[in-house]
Amino acid sequence: MQQVSRPFMRVSSLTWGVLAIPVLLLTIFIGASLGETRIPLDIVLQSLGNKLFDAGYDIDRIDQGIVWNYRTSRAVVAACCGAGLAISGVILQALLRNSLADPYLLGISAGASTGAVAVAIMGVGGGLISMSAGAFGGALLAFALVALLAYSAGGGVGLRAAGIIVLAGIAGSQMFNALTAFLITKSASAEQARGITFWLLGNLSGVRWDDTITAVPASIFGVLVAYLSARTLDAFTFGADSAASLGINVKRAQGVLITTAALVTAVMVSIAGSIGFVGLVVPHAMRILFGNRHRRLIPASALGGAIFLVFADVTSRMLIPGQILPIGVITSLVGAPVFAMILIGGRQKP
Amino acid sequence: MRMMCRDLGWGVRNKQIVEGIDLDVHPGETLGLIGPNGSGKSTLLRMLAGITKPTRGHIELEGQDMQRMAQRTIAQHLAFVEQHADTGERITVRDAVELGRTPWLSALRGWSEEDDSVVSKALADVGLVDFDKRQWATLSGGERQRVHIARGLAQQPRMLLLDEPTNHLDIRHQMSILKLVIGLEITSIIALHDLNQALLCDRICVLQDGRAVAIGDPKEVITPEFLAENFSVEARFLKDPEDGETVIHFCGALA
């Protein structure tokens, strides 16, 4: 195992900032360059130049449309979703002391699907609200119920027993999943059911620039809150009581951080459906590569999640000609073996 | 550090776990908390550490009401070493001890050279100088307990509270941990199981059914009659012919 040569607490966050931004931009650029339609690199650059700096290159409007409206917007949203989900995973795993915790643990994905189905099939909102608004509402409702259940079951003692919120999340998820299944079986046509399934697996195909209005601030907010709470998250290494004895206001920290994770996840789910695997596996992979201290883990996970999802999206567009796979299928198909390799490579040496 | 509590109590629903505790902790002393299983030692210690909020009474730290103090301020005054705090995370010994600096760090006050030296000193105090880079998972029970104590010392507290620090350790580690804690200059409160070990404390507080039944010099408090009444054991006190120390010999349980 890699030995730690100096305390993590001192590692300059500037290094991360300087490194992260160009890497992120490069990833998005690659996302914009690759796709089923082959567009030469110079056209891609010129399209971006036209849009970003009003450069005025004379290029095919269709190519430019594909690069800018279709691919770049998708890459940006994919990066935001990846970062947001990974950060939510880091927060929940740290606070709940449970390595199986993922962003959907709090019933958010189940609630979002119920909300989306209610809008799409039942016509809730009378066409005035979109499916993603419905999903967002459903996600928040589910989280509120799960939080309320956990709070009442824990006797309001600030969730010292982290197991309670996990159980409450499972109960909430089961209930909302059952509700979704009920609605689909009762009212959906085969076509609607297929569309909903596609959406549930995670899907970026409907994404346009409008979606960045919520995705970008939500992911930045999530990363920032988590980064500023890095020491608080570290303090939970030996559990909630130990965090309290280190001077952490456990109740407040759990409230603020879990709500942040829930909000960020709800925004991402409402845009892209429930993309699995990212929030669970990216943080673990980053822990193995960069250690457990959150000063490094948080930027690493945000960046790792962003890169992972952009490439997963590119793969989902290119793998089968003429057909776009749900991104969730790719994240699991590609992610599981990669994660297995990291797990084996990073195992503790005797 | 001076600590005082009056009429301290904690209970759930209609069961009172600890009640009516009046205690004055003197600066610099080692106070042992003893009592049979379920007598409320851990609960009392957790209240004194500011982790469990009392349902009755109050605690004062240096004349300040602890209920009104921020968790962070409490952590700057006292450190608490729980029983068997464990982690599955892959951290080094130094990482674990560095956590002790948490109450002193903030967004404005980042990690400094001084923090490094406090951590190094804490490691040295518990005899783990060469353990810096050892992984937590590779440590023995006694070594883990030492790391926890070092983490407590890295908080630079004026009082250390320990919940049965010698539990589940072999005899050699029990002796060395106890010697370490008693040798510390700061005030400490230790919940203890072993009555022979309790004899080494400056004072002891004996709990029985959540109440303090005796407080004072262990050699005066712990007598054969007292043990029969509170611990339901028959015991004799022997003098070690070598060094003259008193040893409790437990002869059997009383019905």
Q: Is the pLDDT of residue A2 over 50?
A: no
- Preferred mutation among A10, A231, A246 to probe B, highest tally of B CBs within 10 A: A246
Q: Is the pLDDT of residue A319 over 60?
A: yes
Q: Where residue A104 falls among pLDDT bands split at 50, 70, 90? A: confident
DSSP helix/strand/coil, B244: coil
**Number of CB atoms found within 10 A of residue A136's CB:** 25
- CA dist A193 and B255 (Å) reads 71
Residue A158 is predicted with a pLDDT of 45
Take residue A40 and report the two structure tokens written for it.
């030469």
Contact B82 A242 (CB under 8 A): yes
Take residue A240 and report the two structure tokens written for it.
């909630």
Is residue B115 within 8 Å of B104, Cβ to Cβ? yes
**What is the residue-averaged pLDDT of chain B?**
90
**How far apart, in Å, are the Cα atoms of A191 and each of A110, A114, B37?**
21, 17, 65
Is residue A261 within 8 Å of A93, Cβ to Cβ? no
Which chain B residue shows the shortest CA-CA distance from A227? Answer: B107
Q: Where residue A56 falls among pLDDT bands split at 50, 70, 90? A: confident
- CA dist A297 and A227 (Å) reads 9
**How far apart, in Å, are the Cα atoms of B254 and each of B164, B237, B249?**
25, 17, 14
Contact A245 B105 (CB under 8 A): no
> Which residues of A fall within a CB distance of 8 Å from B76?
247
Which chain A residue shows the shortest CA-CA distance from B82? Answer: A242
Contact B89 A237 (CB under 8 A): yes
Residue A31 is predicted with a pLDDT of 92
Q: Is the pLDDT of residue B226 over 70?
A: yes
Q: Where residue A77 falls among pLDDT bands split at 50, 70, 90? A: very high
- CA dist B62 and A153 (Å) reads 37
Residue A8 is predicted with a pLDDT of 47
Buried/exposed code over B26-43 (b: 16+ C-beta within 10 A; e: otherwise): eeeebbbbbbeeebbbbb
> Between B74, B86, B88, which is nearest A247 by CB?
B74
Residue owning tokens 């009003």: A54
A198 touches chain B (CB under 8 A): no
Contact B94 A4 (CB under 8 A): yes
> Residue B3 is inside which H or E element, if any?
strand B3-12
- Residue by residue, what is the 3-state secondary structure of A52-102? HHCCCCCCCHHHHHHHHHHHHHHHHHHHHHHHHHHHHHHHHHHHHCCCCCC
Residue A160 is predicted with a pLDDT of 52
Q: Where residue A347 falls among pLDDT bands split at 50, 70, 90? A: low
Look up the pTM and report it: 0.88
Nearest to A169 by CA among A141, A154, A152, A147: A147
Nearest to B205 by CA among B84, B1, B35, B75: B35
The burial of B88, by beta-carbon neighbours within 10 Å (0-12 exposed, 13-18 middle, 19 or more buried), is given as: exposed
Q: Out of A16-20, A79-83, A305-309, B170-174, pick the least confident.
A: A16-20
> Between B34 and A161, where is the model more confident?
B34
What tens digit of pLDDT does each residue of B135-168 get?
999 998 888 999 999 999 999 999 999 999 888 7
Q: Is the pLDDT of residue A189 over 90?
A: no
Share of chain A above pLDDT 70, in %: 90
Which chain B residue shows the shortest CA-CA distance from A229? Answer: B107
A237 touches chain B (CB under 8 A): yes
Torsion angles phi and psi, residue A37, rounded to 5: -80, 125
Contact A247 B51 (CB under 8 A): no
Q: Is the pLDDT of residue A313 over 50?
A: yes
A235 touches chain B (CB under 8 A): yes
Beta bridge partners of B21: B8
| Mean pLDDT confidence for B47-67 | 91
Is residue A110 within 8 Å of A78, Cβ to Cβ? no
**Number of CB atoms found within 10 A of residue A189's CB:** 10
Q: Out of A60-74, A238-252, A318-332, B124-138, pick the least confident.
A: A318-332
Q: Is the pLDDT of residue A200 over 60?
A: yes
Beta bridge partners of B172: none
Q: How far is CA B247 from the centre of its chain?
A: 22
> Which residues of B fall within a CB distance of 8 Å from A228?
107
DSSP helix/strand/coil, A281: helix
> Which residues of B fall within a CB distance of 8 Å from A287?
89-90
| Mean pLDDT confidence for A285-306 | 91
| Mean pLDDT confidence for A311-339 | 85
- Preferred mutation among B13, B46, B51 to probe A, highest tally of A CBs within 10 A: B51
Share of chain B above pLDDT 90, in %: 51
> Between B51, B76, B98, which is nearest A244 by CB?
B51
- CA dist A68 and A269 (Å) reads 23
> Which residues of B fall within a CB distance of 8 Å from A250?
71
- Residue by residue, what is the 3-state secondary structure of B158-196? CEEEEECCCCCCCHHHHHHHHHHHHHCCCEEEEECCCHH
Q: Where residue A126 falls among pLDDT bands split at 50, 70, 90? A: low
Share of chain A above pLDDT 90, in %: 31
Sheet with B15-25, edge to edge strand ranges: B15-25, B3-12, B56-61, B64-65
Beta bridge partners of B65: B60
Roughly what angle, to the nearest 10 degrees, separates helices A73-96 and A13-33? 140
Phi-psi group of A250: left, alpha or beta (phi > 0 → left; psi -120 to 50 → alpha; rest → beta): alpha
Torsion angles phi and psi, residue B12, rounded to 5: -115, 135
Q: Is the pLDDT of residue A342 over 80?
A: no
Take residue A333 and report the two structure tokens written for it.
């198909």
> Which residues of A fall within a CB distance of 8 Å from B95?
4, 7-8, 292-293
Q: What is the DSSP letter of B27?
A: T
DSSP helix/strand/coil, B134: coil
